[in-house]
Structure 1
């Protein structure tokens, strides 16, 4: 009996293959020829699912962003009612967005490659903007729950603090990807924890 191919699953599999290639070689390596070799599909079969190479790369970037955010969203959804009752717990949750293990280092490395290409490619720039907005919504949701549970004072300016934390996470991620020997997971989590603690102290003053 012939295997039933589900288009959505095939598109996702091709998108995952793009990310694997970018982890190894950067955005320059994500050619249709290399992708065909990675997936075992013909170039024609890949083109059946994506109208252009630009659409393929943008789809892959969007799926990677979704995977990065999902780590936090999944853990947030599993928290008990008092799961964000301290700044340490807030920092622990936000740390899901940092490259603290191999899987996250690879994902973040690929994301930075996508982000670099987004500077000159409008389709990727739109995906980068979308990811930024959705990540900020996620951070805001975390802060709102932390305020509700008393870990962060109610006087916190959520817009400012979300931007501050987003910039911190971006900077730590870049440092960890570019300088992994100097920027250890323990150092990353310590810097994040100190910044979340300072947020609580600053807004309670």
Structure 2
């Protein structure tokens, strides 16, 4: 009986290798040879599943985005303000999973500046996230322009993520800064 091949799992295996390479060595390290070596497969197998480097990068971005969405979906809290705080903290490289994903996300953010194809899903995802956060701000009783505050919080957390990644800000300071910023947003009149 022929062996059943799970093609989706093989693509994920290669996509995971792309993410590991990006996290450890940056986007420039993503090549057919390096990805194949990292995944422990032949270059032919990589080519079978991905026609180009761009296709591998887009797939890796989708994988990381799905993982972040899954982590955010697992966040729970008793009240809207605590829930909002938990979500914002989950976007920072504080947990092991987030520390693995953050360098990949940061590399994609930087690459999106020069690659419009990658910028589009980032813009769309950011817009959806801002709308969702605005709803949370409103539910938590935040006064003022919730949409504007949500966009400001996302920009704040993106910048804070980079500062934590490069060691400019510790995890403890990052949590304190999120608490400070969130308090300011929820009490602003």
**TM-score when normalising by structure 2:** 0.89
Aligned length: 189
Q: Indicate whether 1:133 and 2:121 are aligned.
A: no
Matches within 5 A, 1:80-95: 83-85=78-80, 87-95=81-89
Give me the whole-angstrom Cα distance separating, in 2, the residues matched to 1:117 and 1:70. Answer: 24
Q: Indicate whether 1:97 and 2:73 are aligned.
A: no
Give me the whole-angstrom Cα distance separating, in 1, the residues matched to 2:187 and 2:176. Answer: 16
Q: Is the Cα contact below 8 Å between 1:143 and 1:158 reproduced in 2? A: yes
Q: CA deviation at 1:98?
A: 0.7
Query: In structure 2, which of residues 92, 102, 109 is the aligned counterpart of residue 108 of structure 1?
Result: 102
Give me the whole-angstrom Cα distance separating, in 2, the residues matched to 1:18 and 1:129. Answer: 22
Matching residue of 1:67: 67
Q: Is the Cα contact below 8 Å between 2:14 and 2:36 reproduced in 1? A: no
Q: Indicate whether 1:191 and 2:186 are aligned.
A: no
> Per the alignment, in what secondary structure is the counterpart of residue 127 of structure 2?
helix
For residues 60-86 of structure 1, give each alpha carbon's deviation from its aligned partner in whole angstroms, at most 9, with x where no partner exists.
Answer: 11211221232112214xx4xxx225x
Matching residue of 1:54: 54
Query: In structure 2, which of residues 149, 156, 159 is the aligned counterpart of residue 161 of structure 1?
Result: 149
Give me the whole-angstrom Cα distance separating, in 2, the residues matched to 1:130 and 1:10. Answer: 28
For residues 173 and 18 of structure 1, do their structure 2 counterparts lie closer, same or farther at Cα, with a shift above 3 Å needed? same
Q: Indicate whether 1:44 and 2:32 are aligned.
A: no
Q: CA deviation at 1:143?
A: 2.6
Give me the whole-angstrom Cα distance separating, in 1, the residues matched to 2:35 and 2:103. Answer: 19
What is the Cα-based RMSD across aligned positions, in Å? 2.0
Listed as ranges, the gaps of 5+ residues in structure 1 are: none
Matching residue of 2:141: 152
Moved over 6 A (4+): none
Query: In structure 2, which of residues 98, 110, 116 is the aligned counterpart of residue 122 of structure 1?
Result: 116
Q: CA deviation at 1:128?
A: 2.2
Higher relative contact order (CA 8 A, sep 6+): 1
Matching residue of 1:19: 19
